[in-house]
Amino acid sequence: MSYAGDLTPQEAWKIITEDPTAVLVDCRTRAEWSYVGVPDLTGTGKQTVFIEWVSFPDGAKNSDFVAQLRAAGVADDQQVVFLCRSGQRSIGAAQAATADGIDKAYNVLDGFEGAIDAEGHRGAAGWKAVGLPWRQS
């Protein structure tokens, strides 16, 4: 594994709430943030960092991802939790962060709304499904 590891949404929440320097990076697209919702860290006194891993609608990889991560103030010694829709893009984000010197870069398993189920729907797993705070933006 070329990043610190995978976390359940609950484990991610524990890090975010217990480590004062931990950061949550939502690496989904602007469209997902707008139409699906976003994690709500209001109760923690923190704010989610929003940086697209790929752009919408063309799906092109964001070549400035690491630079934008650094511009947002993310430092090498922080625990950084990456969240996407289903826990796939966030693996790439965690790998890129690790390659740039962030040793504690984690992926959230099942992401914000999980993989597609047998009926072709999302939402049975992930951040929203386990009842972690979120809101429509």
* Confidence (pLDDT) at 91: 98
In the prediction, which pLDDT does 118 show? 87
pLDDT, position 10:
98
pLDDT of residue 133: 97
pTM across the whole model: 0.95
CATH of the domain at 81: 3.40.250.10
Q: What is the pLDDT of residue 69?
A: 98
- Own/partner contacts of 123-132, CB < 8 Å, gap of 24 or more, are 126/9, 126/86, 126/87, 127/9, 127/12, 127/39, 127/83, 128/37, 130/8, 130/9, 130/10, 132/9, 132/10, 132/13, 132/39
CB 92 within 8 A of CB 53: yes
| Residues of the chain below pLDDT 50 | none
pLDDT score at 82: 98
Q: Which residues pair with 38 in a beta bridge?
A: 135
What are the tokens at 43? 């109760």
| Structural domain boundaries enclosing 28 | 5-135
Count of domains for the chain: 1
The pLDDT of residue 124:
82
* Model pLDDT, residue 105: 98
